[in-house]
Amino acid sequence: MSLSIKRLAGETVIYGATTMVGRLLNWLLMPFYIRVIAPEEYGAIINIYSFISILLVVFTYGMETGFFRFSREKNSQDVYKTTLSILSISSLLLIVLSFSFANKISLYFYDGNYSVSIILVGVIVALDSLLSIPFAKLRLDNRPIKFGVIKLISIFCNIAFNIIFLVVIPYLIDKFSLAEGFVSAYNQGNGVFYVILSNLLSSLVSLFIFIPDFIRLKGSFSSYILKKMLRYSWPVLVVGITGMITQNADKILIPKLIKENGFVELAIYGANFKIGVLMSLFTQSFRFAFEPYFFNNREKGIDSYAKVMEYFVAFGLFIFLGITVFQDLVNILFTSEYLRGNIIIPYVLVAMLFYGIYFNLSVWYKLSDKTIFGAIFGVMGMIGTVGLDFILIPKMGIIGGAIAMLCGYSLMMISSYLVGQKHYYIPYNLKVIGLYFIIAVMIFYFNGIIVVESLFLKYLIKVFIFLAFPLFFVFYNRLKSKYA
């Protein structure tokens, strides 16, 4: 393994550890929510956060990637100041819009409920889009520890506020005679409001931590740099928007396309979809290290990108098998009414893996400054996914949403590979990658047909078949190195 790949692996471990811990902590809010919040409210929370994901991309408009790109070529302080300035303006605009249209949005999507929560959503998106640049600067400056500490502080605060609002205060109201005004004020809220409020307070904590950095901010605003960044970043924005729509269209459309108990169905779908976060957090932590690596290692050659892809696919399939082979252990997280959504989990995991592969394939258009192709692939995937959502969800229910997303990411992945090889050839070893997939599918199939009454024997077999994949990976690569 080359020094460059070793460095990438090291940074992935650092970013991945903090990201994994943080997202796992957030992930554990799912079993918490389904036990303290009604399914219909949990479905509304999933729906609202799907909109938040899209809005964050819209109001960051690709400037995070643009910041990485131009900080290496221009005055980094000017780039930082320019990026923060333009995002501050758009964030203020969003807050004004959220106050102006909250009631109309509430009426259309939620039958008039959650209007105050929608205002808070606007403030959250404004804060988080602005904070994306200080976090990006920490990544660019190779400061993963500070990055992780701030992220974890915010997440712990979010969890603490959730527990206070959803468990502690109701307990105190039930057990003690609290002031009538306090009880009345608290009861005006609902589960959705307190989840959103907790998020807002945790975002404010992150903002407070970065205030000293803002005070020490140097450099000057440059319209020239801004024009260059916007020209570079707008295709990245399209990629981001289409990617988020592809990933969240199902959660937005399910309440509309499943007329009866739509938000309850979304709660079941969303809770099981959360298992796929285990795959997406791997791809996200990989991205944190890989995106700066793109721009800092152009001279290292294309072979390293091909080798990175092999490792990425292997570890992604390892995660897929770990979850699917031991699915019954994962189900401890759910209450009984959510178990019927298990059927979507394999589709979601593979879809997230394909999206991770697509991200790795995107190296060709980022390094060659042909980001327009990313926009084209994103639009293709979005159209395919949303179109299939409208077709499959009414006919198949929630599994239709998972299949649609898998098809959308497959289309993006295949298109990027075929076009990329013509414009920026990278010698990916498709035979090796295909072999990894074949072995993983065989293990997945064999696990599905195991019928053993003894619990001990059942799990012993599961452990053996699960370990078959990493053992094959190690043995195959040692054999390949020996005869290379």
Instruction: Report residue 210's pLDDT band, with 50, 70 and 90 as the boundaries.
Output: very high
Q: Are the CB atoms for 364 and 374 separated by under 8 Å?
A: no
Average pLDDT over residues 464-483: 87
* Residue 103 to residue 1: CA distance in whole angstroms: 57
Counted domains in the chain: 1
Q: Given a cut of 70, is residue 176 above it in pLDDT?
A: yes
Residues 6+ apart with CB under 8 A from 288: 11, 12, 15, 16, 19, 139, 144
Cα–Cα distances in angstroms (integers) from residue 342 to residues 83, 274, 397, in the given order? 43, 11, 13
Which tokens sit at 148? 């992780």
Q: Which residue has the tokens 């808070």?
A: 120
Instruction: Report residue 385's pLDDT band, with 50, 70 and 90 as the boundaries.
Output: very high
Residue 303 lies in a domain: yes
pTM over 0.95: no
Residues 6+ apart with CB under 8 A from 91: 59, 125, 126, 127, 129, 130
Residue 9 lies in a domain: yes
Residue 463 lies in a domain: no
What dihedral do alpha carbons 187, 189, 190, 196 form, nearest 10°?
-150
Residue 109 lies in a domain: yes
Instruction: Report residue 224's pLDDT band, with 50, 70 and 90 as the boundaries.
Output: confident
Answer with the residue of higher pLDDT: 32 or 238: 32
Q: Given a cut of 60, is residue 3 above it in pLDDT?
A: no
Which of the given ranges, 11-25, 263-277, 305-319, has the highest pLDDT on average?
Answer: 263-277
DSSP structural state of residue 176: S
Q: Are the CB atoms for 278 and 28 separated by under 8 Å?
A: no
Residue 484 lies in a domain: no
H or E element in which residue 141 lies: none
Residues 6+ apart with CB under 8 A from 48: 114, 117, 118, 121, 192, 196
Which tokens sit at 388? 């299939």
DSSP structural state of residue 62: T
* Residue 215 to residue 441: CA distance in whole angstroms: 54
* Residue 416 to residue 363: CA distance in whole angstroms: 10
pLDDT at 392: 97
pLDDT at 291: 54
pLDDT at 435: 94
Q: Given a cut of 90, is residue 320 above it in pLDDT?
A: yes
pLDDT at 9: 55
Average pLDDT over residues 414-437: 91
Q: Are the CB atoms for 433 and 309 separated by under 8 Å?
A: yes
Residue 478 lies in a domain: no
Give the closest residue to 208 by CA, choosing from 157, 164, 166.
157
DSSP structural state of residue 72: T
Provide the CB-side half-sphere exposure for 80 (13 A, CA).
18
Instruction: Report residue 182's pLDDT band, with 50, 70 and 90 as the boundaries.
Output: confident
Give the closest residue to 113 by CA, choosing from 47, 165, 59.
47
Give the closest residue to 445 by CA, choosing from 453, 437, 435.
437
Which tokens sit at 350? 């593979």
pLDDT at 410: 96
Q: Which residue has the tokens 């990629």?
A: 239
* Residue 169 to residue 194: CA distance in whole angstroms: 11
Average pLDDT over residues 339-354: 95
pLDDT at 393: 97
pLDDT at 290: 60
Instruction: Report residue 289's pLDDT band, with 50, 70 and 90 as the boundaries.
Output: low
Q: Are the CB atoms for 17 and 147 separated by under 8 Å?
A: no
Q: Which residue has the tokens 């900080």?
A: 71
Please write the tens of the pLDDT for every residue from 6-29: 555 555 556 666 766 777 788 889
Residues 6+ apart with CB under 8 A from 285: 12, 15, 16, 19, 20
Which tokens sit at 297? 């290692």
pLDDT at 6: 56
* Residue 200 to residue 124: CA distance in whole angstroms: 5
Instruction: Report residue 76's pLDDT band, with 50, 70 and 90 as the boundaries.
Output: confident
* Residue 377 to residue 410: CA distance in whole angstroms: 11
Residue 185 lies in a domain: yes
Give the closest residue to 31 by CA, choosing from 274, 347, 225, 231.
274
pLDDT at 181: 83
Mean pLDDT for all residues in the chain: 87
Range of the domain at 110: 3-449
How far the first Cα of the chain sits from its last, in Å, is 13
